[in-house]
Amino acid sequence: MENQRTIITTSALPYANGSIHLGHLVEYLQTDYWVRFQKMRGHQCLYICADDTHGTPIMIRARNEGITPEELIEKSQKEHEEDFDKFQIHFDSYYSTNSPENKELASEIFKAMEENGHIAKKSIKQSYCEHDSMFLPDRFVKGTCPNCKSPDQYGDSCDKCGATYSPTELMEPACSICGNPPVEKDSEHLFFQLGHFKDFLTEWVPKHTAPEVSNKLKEWYEGELRDWDISRDAPYFGFEIPGHPGKYFYVWVDAPIGYMSSLKKWCEKNNVDFKEFWNGEKTEIYHFIGKDIVYFHALFWPAMLHTAGYKTPDGVFVHGFLTVNGEKMSKSKGTFISAGTYLNHLDPTYLRYYYACKLRGIEDIDLNLEDFCARVNSDLIGKIANLGSRGAQMLNKKLDGKTSEMTDRGKELLASAVNKADEIADLYENLNFAKAITVIRDIADETNRYFDEKAPWKLIKDDAIETKKILTDIINIFRVMSVYLKPILPEFTAKVEKLFKEPEYDWNSIHQTLLNHEIGPFEHLVTRVDPKKVEEMVEESKQ
C-alpha cells in the first residue's frame, strides 16, 4: 500500500439561514465518499466543515423571529448536524464561524493584508434605508432590472436575463425589509487589492484547478482584477474589523477562514499544533465546492492565505448543480426537496447510491425521480444486494450456515473482481464515482450470470456439497463488491460485515477469502424503493 498521506478536506460551509436540501447534498456526499475512501486506504484524512453564520440575512431573520442571531445559528446548526448524520456524512470537526478561533484567525489574516500594503480605503455610494437606519446589502434591495425591465429582481443580478449591476442602477428600488425606497449615502469601505496578486494567481490557478475551471477563471485573472470590498457597516452580525470601529468583515472574508478555525478546534482537542499541521510539508489541502463560488475559492482565498504566510490549497474540486427531472429545483413543483423531507419518506442509502452513479466531475447532475427508482431497484437491489441475500439465505436456510471451499470457476471470478481494485481506487481518487459504480456493477452482472447458470436452488436437491461451493463463490465475490462500495454505502457495508461476522473492512480486506467460515443470521441489507413514497415526498415539498 502507498505511503500514508495527511489530508485536510473541506466542503463549503452551509449557511445558517436555511435548511440543507438535496442540491447541497451533492457536495457533502461527494466529499464524504472521497474522505471515506482515503481513510479505508489507511491515510489520515480529516473532513472539516462548519456552519457559516454571519451577515445581514441572519440578523434580519433573527429579528423577524424575535430571537438573537446567536439563538438562530445555534438552532440552525443543530438541524444541519442532524441531517448530515442521518445521511451518514461523517465530519472530523464540524464547528461554527461565530467562534473565538475564527475571530482570532480573521484578525490575524486581515492584519497581514494591511501590513503588507494590500488594503485600500475608498468612499462608495450605497443604498441606505432611512426607515431601518442601515446600509442595505445588494440582496436587500429589490426593483426592476435595468436591462430587461423584469420586476422584483435583487439588487445585484437579474434571475430573468442574468444581467449583473449595482443596486443603485435598479429601477424603482425598494428596501426588501420595509418596502420604502432607499436613498444613496456615502460610506468609507476597506478593499483588498486583488490586483497585487495577478502574477501569483496567473501561476497558481492552472496548477490547482481543473482545466475547465482554470479557463473560466482566465476571464478574471487575465483581465483587470478588481479590488474586493471586504467591509460592511454596522449594524451587522459578524466580527468587527480590528482598528476600524463600526466596520465589520464581509461574510465572505471569515467564511473560508472557518475551514481553518474548525481545523484549529480539532487540533486543540487532539494536541496538534495547528500552524505546523496546516503548513506541513506533507499536508495536502483540498476544497470541494460548487461552481457558483469558484472565484472566492480560487482567487480571493489563495491570495488571502498567501499574504498571511499560510499554505494555499493543493486542489479546488468543483462540481456542478443539481437539477430534478431535468429542471431547476422548484418549490411549486415539489422538486425543491429538503434533507428532512427526503428522510421522512426514503432511505438515505438510495440517494448515496444514486448520486454516486451520476458524479464524474464538473458537469451538472440530474436527479430524475423515475430513473432514481428504477436504478436503485434494478442495480443496487436487483443486481448487487440480491447476490448477498440469495447466497447467504440459501446457505443459512438449506445448509449449515458455513462456507466451504470454492470452485475453480469461482476462484477465477473472485480473482477478476480483486484485480479491479487499482482501477476502482484510481476512479475514486479522481472523483469519477459514476465509472467506479459501473465497474462494480459489471462484477455483479458477471456473478449473477454465473449464479443463474449454476442454478444452485435446483442443484441442491442432488448435490449439496457442490451447491455449498457455488454459494461460497457468490458470497466471496459479493463481499469484495461490498468492500469497494463501502465509501459510498457505509451502512449497507456495515450490515455485510455483521452478516459475515467480520471486523470493519479496509481496502485490504479484498485479499481475504471466507472459506469454512460461519456466517450470521441474514437481515435485509436494503429494501426496494416504493415509487409511492417518492410521490409523497414531492407532494410534501410542494409550496
- Residues facing 52 on adjacent strands: 15
Cβ within 8 Å of residue 139, ≥6 positions away: 56, 57, 154, 155, 156, 176
Specify whether 469 is located in the same domain as 400: yes
- In this prediction, what percent of the chain has a pLDDT beyond 70? 100
Is residue 496 a part of any domain in this protein? Answer: yes
The closest alpha carbon to 198, from 214, 179, 218, 182, belongs to 218
Give the separation between CA 442 and CA 531, rounded to whole angstroms. 26
Specify whether 412 is located in the same domain as 491: yes
Give the separation between CA 92 and CA 11, rounded to whole angstroms. 12
Is residue 434 a part of any domain in this protein? Answer: yes
| 382 CA to centre of own chain | 28
> Range of 478's domain?
373-511
| 429 CA to centre of own chain | 15
What's 145's DSSP letter? -
Specify whether 91 is located in the same domain as 207: yes
Largest CA distance in the chain: 92
Position 1 pLDDT exceeds 60: no
- In the predicted model, what is the mean pLDDT of residues 341-363? 96
Position 2 pLDDT exceeds 70: no
Cell numbers representing residue 326 in the block: 431535468
Specify whether 503 is located in the same domain as 411: yes
Specify whether 304 is located in the same domain as 400: no
- In the predicted model, what is the mean pLDDT of residues 13-34? 97
Number of domains in the chain: 2
Is residue 338 a part of any domain in this protein? Answer: no
Alpha helices per DSSP H over 155-295: 198-208, 211-221, 251-269, 274-279, 294-295
Q: Which residue has the cell 446600509?
A: 135
If DSSP codes are grouped into helix, strand and coil, which group holds residue 164? strand
Q: Which residue has the cell 414531492?
A: 538
For residue 459, the domain's CATH number is 1.10.730.10
CB atoms within 10 A of CB 153: 24
What's 314's DSSP letter? S
Specify whether 408 is located in the same domain as 501: yes
Q: Which residue has the higher pLDDT, 155 or 231?
A: 231
- In the predicted model, what is the mean pLDDT of residues 276-280? 98
Distances from the Cα of 403 to the Cα of 91, 400, 419, 464, angstroms: 37, 9, 23, 12
- In the predicted model, what is the mean pLDDT of residues 454-461? 96
DSSP string, 79-113: HHHHHHHHTT---SEEEESSSHHHHHHHHHHHHHH
Distances from the Cα of 198 to the Cα of 67, 300, 305, 457, angstroms: 44, 11, 15, 69
Specify whether 63 is located in the same domain as 212: yes
Position 372 pLDDT exceeds 70: yes
Rg (CA), the chain: 27
Average pLDDT over the chain, rounded to whole? 95
- In this prediction, what percent of the chain has a pLDDT beyond 90? 88
Q: Which residue has the cell 475571530?
A: 103
Question: Which letter, b or e, does each residue of 380-398 get, where b requires 16 or more Cβ atoms within 10 Å of its Cβ?
Answer: bbbbbbbbbbbbbebbbeb
Give the separation between CA 301 and CA 424, rounded to whole angstroms. 32
Report yes or no: 192 and 118 within 8 Å, Cβ to Cβ.
Answer: yes
Q: How many residues are listed for the chain in this entry?
A: 543
Specify whether 390 is located in the same domain as 283: no
- In the predicted model, what is the mean pLDDT of residues 98-127? 96
For residue 263, the domain's CATH number is 3.40.50.620
- In the predicted model, what is the mean pLDDT of residues 105-132? 95
If DSSP codes are grouped into helix, strand and coil, which group holds residue 237? coil
Specify whether 286 is located in the same domain as 380: no
Is residue 517 a part of any domain in this protein? Answer: no
Number of H helices and E strands in the chain, helices first, is: 21, 16
Of 159-168, 299-308, 420-429, 508-517, the range with the lowest mean pLDDT is 159-168
What is the predicted pLDDT for the residue at 134? 85
Give the separation between CA 115 and CA 109, rounded to whole angstroms. 10
Is residue 311 a part of any domain in this protein? Answer: yes
Q: Which residue has the cell 469454512?
A: 516
Give the separation between CA 312 and CA 109, rounded to whole angstroms. 13
Is residue 528 a part of any domain in this protein? Answer: no
Is residue 344 a part of any domain in this protein? Answer: no
CB atoms within 10 A of CB 457: 12
Specify whether 298 is located in the same domain as 442: no
Cell numbers representing residue 535 in the block: 410521490
CA angle 542, 60, 541 (to 5 degrees): 10
Give the separation between CA 107 and CA 449, rounded to whole angstroms. 63
For residue 235, say if its preceding peptide bond is cis, omega within 30 degrees of 0. Answer: yes
Position 43 pLDDT exceeds 90: yes
Alpha helices per DSSP H over 331-407: 339-345, 348-358, 369-375, 386-397
Tell how strand 141-144 and strand 153-154 pair up: antiparallel
Q: Which helix (H) or strand (E) holds 192?
A: strand 183-192
Q: pLDDT tens digits, residue range 478-495?
A: 999 999 999 999 999 999
Cell numbers representing residue 46 in the block: 480529516
Specify whether 388 is located in the same domain as 258: no
Domain boundary among 302, 319, 336: 319
Tell how strand 183-192 and strand 153-154 pair up: unpaired
What is the predicted pLDDT for the residue at 44? 98
Specify whether 384 is located in the same domain as 492: yes
Domain boundary among 276, 300, 319: 319
C-alpha count within 13 angstroms, C-beta hemisphere, residue 212: 8
What is the predicted pLDDT for the residue at 138? 80
- Residues facing 6 on adjacent strands: 44, 283
What is the predicted pLDDT for the residue at 499? 97
Is residue 176 a part of any domain in this protein? Answer: no
